């Protein structure tokens, strides 16, 4: 049985968090395939990330293909990664569905499996509005008191802006300890209204900016590129910790710039909106090109993307892998990945 852990608090959400795909077996791009999860690779990747120094695992969001996995597949994947983590770092799994009751049922099963929390987005069959959204999170928290919640705050996916009044209300729910956060343009306001009770995690490419805005509270971030080579994001974490102590931000800023330089070809024609339409296929193309893990194909219907977009994603993955090799050698780190 997986080891049970006490309810996480905001103080437990620190450092570099990897958001991982759900590895697929060959042939998973076909609707005819019924058992698509590569359980062995799922377990291997989590173990390798932890050994590389990652501080937490987020899973089964958009690129984790929560929307296209069957319920049986979700349970197999959750069990594999929870068992592999073995309590060494917190593990959050996605249990977002189109209704409160089904979400609660899946979240309860995830808790029984041993997950520490859920990365929870929104039902969005109908365009979300603040009242129903607040009711949704409150109901899930009440029904699943032993599960921490990381709000999956993706405006593009859920058609909801996650405005300051949302964060003000979320701060009153004890289980809500973190958020997979978007752009940091509104970070100061959202930190203020949430009274620093929720760890807002920016993507690694914006973590430097967040840490400069609020060095004391912005102590964690997420990265899907972690599975392109975790050496880069653990180095970013460590450089920013060092900069906060010394006041010298030059090395952290340099790494921030190097990370940014891997991204231009990842967004088709420079458009994040266009990227979002093909997110899963592009993320998996980037990860495959980097060579750190075996992602397998994307599941239908999100396995289709223009070849020119996929080629840009591959170039981004190759650029990240090169940066990871640099920091692996520079820091004496040992890569734990597939390559």
Tell me the catalytic residues: 180
> Does residue 288 lie in a domain region?
no
Query: Which band of pLDDT confidence, cut at 50, 70 and 90, is reported for residue 195?
Result: confident
* Domain span including residue 113: 10-248
Instruction: Tell me the pLDDT tens digit for each residue of 132-151.
Output: 999 999 999 999 999 999 99
Give the mean model confidence (pLDDT) for residues 113-126: 96
Quick one: pLDDT at residue 330?
A: 59
Quick one: pLDDT at residue 130?
A: 97
> Does residue 195 lie in a domain region?
yes
The count of structural domains within the chain is 1
| Whether the predicted pLDDT of 271 surpasses 80 | yes
| Whether the predicted pLDDT of 283 surpasses 50 | yes
> Does residue 307 lie in a domain region?
no
pLDDT-above-70 percentage for the chain: 95
| Whether the predicted pLDDT of 335 surpasses 50 | no
Tokens 């339409």 label which residue? 277
> Does residue 327 lie in a domain region?
no
pLDDT-above-90 percentage for the chain: 92
> Does residue 163 lie in a domain region?
yes
SS3 321: helix
> Does residue 103 lie in a domain region?
yes
Count Cα neighbours of 180 within 13 Å in the Cβ-side half-sphere: 30
Positive or negative torsion for Cα 202, 61, 111, 37: negative
Residue 178 and residue 148 in contact, taking contact as beta carbons nearer than 8 Å: yes
Give the mean model confidence (pLDDT) for residues 123-127: 93
> Does residue 326 lie in a domain region?
no
CATH number, domain of 225, equals 3.20.20.70
> Does residue 266 lie in a domain region?
no
Quick one: pLDDT at residue 339?
A: 39
Mean residue pLDDT across the chain: 94
| 3 or 324, higher pLDDT | 324
Alpha helices, H only, the chain: 39-51, 71-85, 100-113, 130-143, 155-158, 164-170, 187-193, 204-213, 231-246, 250-260, 272-277, 279-290, 307-331
């Amino acid at each position: 049985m997986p080891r049970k852990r006490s309810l996480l608090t905001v103080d437990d959400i620190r450092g570099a968090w990897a958001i991982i795909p759900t590895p697929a077996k060959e042939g998973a791009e076909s609707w005819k395939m019924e058992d698509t999860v590569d359980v062995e690779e799922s377990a291997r990747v989590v173990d390798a990330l932890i050994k590389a120094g990652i501080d937490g695992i987020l899973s089964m969001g958009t690129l984790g293909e929560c929307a296209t996995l069957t319920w049986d597949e979700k349970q197999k994947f959750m069990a594999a990664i929870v068992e592999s983590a073995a309590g060494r770092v917190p593990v959050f799994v996605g249990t977002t569905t189109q209704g409160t009751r089904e979400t609660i049922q899946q979240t309860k099963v995830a808790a029984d499996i041993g997950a520490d929390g859920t990365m929870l987005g929104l039902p969005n069959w109908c365009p979300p509005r603040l009242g129903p959204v607040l009711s949704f999170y409150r109901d899930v928290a009440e029904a699943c008191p032993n599960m921490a919640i990381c709000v999956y705050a993706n405006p593009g996916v859920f058609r909801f802006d996650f405005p300051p009044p949302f964060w003000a209300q979320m701060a009153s729910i004890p289980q809500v300890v973190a958020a997979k956060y978007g752009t940091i343009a509104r970070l100061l306001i959202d930190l203020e209204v949430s009274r620093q009770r929720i760890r807002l995690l920016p993507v690694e490419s914006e973590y430097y900016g967040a840490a400069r805005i609020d060095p004391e509270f912005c102590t964690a971030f997420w990265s899907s590129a972690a599975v392109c080579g975790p050496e880069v994001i653990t180095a970013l974490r460590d450089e920013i910790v060092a900069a906060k102590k010394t006041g010298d931000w030059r090395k952290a800023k340099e790494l921030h710039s190097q990370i940014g330089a891997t991204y231009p070809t990842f967004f088709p024609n420079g458009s994040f909106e266009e990227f979002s339409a093909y997110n899963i296929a592009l993320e998996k193309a980037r990860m495959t090109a980097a060579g750190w893990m075996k992602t397998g194909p994307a599941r239908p219907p999100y396995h289709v993307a223009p070849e020119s977009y996929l080629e840009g994603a591959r170039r981004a993955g190759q650029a990240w892998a090169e940066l990871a090799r640099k920091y692996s050698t520079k820091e004496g780190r040992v890569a734990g990945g597939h390559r």
